[in-house]
């Protein structure tokens, strides 16, 4: 399953919407996503599964790239 992760690049800064980044990662659960990203200095705000029509829509974005970890 593909998950969309909303995050800030710095754990110590206060989250600001304008600086929120996203990435896509393949995993079986949200916990697995968080485990794969735990070594990175990200402040993860939200992890959301992406499937069906929503996944097809996201694939059309120029920013769509599944992170390989």
What's the CATH number where 34 sits? 3.10.20.730
HEC-encoded secondary structure of the chain: CEEEEEEECCCCCCCCHHHCEEEEEECCCHHHHHHHHCCCCCEEEEEEEECHHHHHHHHCCCCCCEECC
- pLDDT category at 63 given cuts 50, 70, 90 is confident
pLDDT at 3: 97
Whether the CB-CB separation of 7 and 40 falls below 8 Å is answered with no
- Domain with 20 in it: 2-67
**Domain tally for the chain?**
1
* pLDDT exceeds cutoff 90 at 69: no
Q: How many CB atoms lie within 10 A of CB 36?
A: 16
Q: Which pTM value belongs to this model? A: 0.88
């Amino acid at each position: 399953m593909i998950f969309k992760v909303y995050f800030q690049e710095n754990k110590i800064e206060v989250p600001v919407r304008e600086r929120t980044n996203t990435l896509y990662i393949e995993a079986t659960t949200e916990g697995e996503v968080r485990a794969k990203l735990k070594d990175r200095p990200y402040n993860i705000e939200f992890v959301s599964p992406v499937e069906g029509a929503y996944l097809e829509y996201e694939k059309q974005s120029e920013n769509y790239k599944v992170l390989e970890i």
